[in-house]
Amino acid sequence: MGAGFLHKQLLVCFSAFLFLLVVIIHQDAPGTLQLGFLGALRGEPVSAEQRQGSPTFQWRGTEEERAGDSMPVPVPSRPPATTRHPLQVVYPYNYRFLLNEPDKCRDRAPFLVLLVVTEPKDITVRNAIRQTWGNESAVPGVSMVRIFLTGVHPRYGSPLQRLLEEESALHRDIIQQDFLDTYNNLTLKTLMGMEWVSTHCSNASYVMKADSDIFLNVGFLVRQLLQPQLPPKKDFMTGHIYRNTGPLRSKAYKWYVPREVYPNNTYPPYCGGAGYVLSGDLAKKVYGAAQTLRVINMEDAFLGICLYKLGISVTNSPWGLFNVFWLEYEKCRFSRLVLVHHYGPTDLLRVWPDFQGGNKTCPS
């Protein structure tokens, strides 16, 4: 009996050691270790919806870091300090456009507007997207507009601004508002895109919000899913749909949503942020609804909240079209889906010639 007890104790110690090891391995930065460990100890859920990526919790740094930044331009908006939680998204607020493209839709009503989320420093990423799925003339006979969405870098706003202005003058495809470009301000980027569509491109049939780390098969999206020969759908939104999920309440996670920001324990159904498609009319309605709601820091879940408020449901897409997890590239498989998550610029440039190439024909 005594030996059995000792044996159990050893087992417990050993499991605890393994557990600690796993916790440590899963942390990027030493600073986040404690939070992650405490969160895990409290038994908080790892993820309500199996999101990927490493947990990094960053809001703490933004204000202090900027205190040492003496460069004058651009000056990001500093909404008045109130008692709001640091993760509370400041909205509605009169953010100014530092870069805008008001004339893109003056002479055309695009079938599809691609709103691509990037950070100011992501020049390589934007160039790879311009050369691959973001090519506006990739689908013959279909009018497309590509717009990159950015905010202001929290620390290197000024030096990056000059580069961004040059890039913008060259490609005329970047819009930027004067909010801090941080993970927890992502919803502001999406709303800037919805604002841009509402104000400057309200005759677009469809709008796609896309992350910059995806493989996107625009041809399939346009021809198979949206079908330009049909009248544009109304009140339509589709993507990879999450149902019955809720906010993550542990500070250890990149996707932490405090109760002060969103009190409910569940989200309405919503489309995963890697890439989703809306009808042009709905983009305007979502923008309108956002003016009346408490904006939360999870942009995809927030769009679900807007739809819920509007009394509009998300539409299911055939299974397997929107892949929020990475898949190994295979031409014929990729020719029958809309998106695959976790494709960086190097991967995109590597697979694109084969994807476009006519060497191998795939059964349709």
Ligand X SMILES: *[C@@H]1O[C@H](CO)[C@@H](O)[C@H](O)[C@H]1NC(C)=O
Binding string, 300-339, against ligand X, x = CB under 6 A?
-----x--x-------------------------------
What is the smallest separation between the CB atom of 180 and ligand X, expressed in angstroms? 4
Stretch that binds ligand X, among 36-44, 73-81, 155-163, 344-352 (CB under 6 A): 73-81
User: Is there binding between residue 363 and ligand X (CB under 6 A)?
Assistant: no
What is the smallest separation between the CB atom of 319 and ligand X, expressed in angstroms? 26
Q: What CA–CA distance (Å, rounded) separates 304 from 310? A: 10
User: Is there binding between residue 109 and ligand X (CB under 6 A)?
Assistant: yes
Cβ proximity to ligand X: between 297 and 323 the closer is 297
User: Is there binding between residue 261 and ligand X (CB under 6 A)?
Assistant: no
Chosen residue from 77, 313, 315, 317 binding ligand X by CB under 6 A: 77
Chosen residue from 61, 79, 318, 320 binding ligand X by CB under 6 A: 79
Beta bridge partners of 271: 241
User: Is there binding between residue 131 and ligand X (CB under 6 A)?
Assistant: yes
Q: How many residues sit close enough to ligand X to count as binding (CB under 6 A)?
A: 36
What is the smallest separation between the CB atom of 99 and ligand X, expressed in angstroms? 15
Name residues contacting ligand X, limited to 332-351 (CB under 6 A).
Answer: none
Residue with tokens 């005594």: 2
CA 164 to chain centre: 20
Q: Are 27 and 55 in contact (CB under 8 A)?
A: yes
Q: What CA–CA distance (Å, rounded) separates 269 from 188? A: 20
What is the smallest separation between the CB atom of 204 and ligand X, expressed in angstroms? 8
Question: What sign for the dihedral angle of Cα 20, 25, 27, 30?
Answer: positive
User: Is there binding between residue 268 and ligand X (CB under 6 A)?
Assistant: yes
Q: What CA–CA distance (Å, rounded) separates 270 from 294? A: 17
Name residues contacting ligand X, limited to 179-208 (CB under 6 A).
Answer: 179-180, 182, 184-185, 200-203
| Paired tokens of 64 | 């202090």
Chosen residue from 23, 40, 138, 312 binding ligand X by CB under 6 A: 138
What is the smallest separation between the CB atom of 239 and ligand X, expressed in angstroms? 18
What is the smallest separation between the CB atom of 140 and ligand X, expressed in angstroms? 8
What is the smallest separation between the CB atom of 90 and ligand X, expressed in angstroms? 5
User: Is there binding between residue 36 and ligand X (CB under 6 A)?
Assistant: no
Q: What CA–CA distance (Å, rounded) separates 1 from 7? A: 10
Stretch that binds ligand X, among 176-184, 224-232, 322-330, 337-345 (CB under 6 A): 176-184
Stretch that binds ligand X, among 48-56, 85-93, 251-259, 269-277 (CB under 6 A): 85-93
Q: What CA–CA distance (Å, rounded) separates 52 from 60? A: 22
Phi, psi of 206 (to 5 degrees): -135, 155
Stretch that binds ligand X, among 1-9, 78-86, 221-229, 328-336 (CB under 6 A): 78-86
Chosen residue from 33, 44, 46, 135 binding ligand X by CB under 6 A: 135
- Residues near ligand X, by CB under 6 A: 59, 62, 76-79, 86-87, 90, 105-109, 130-131, 135, 137-138, 179-180, 182, 184-185, 200-203, 264, 268, 305, 308, 353-354, 357, 359
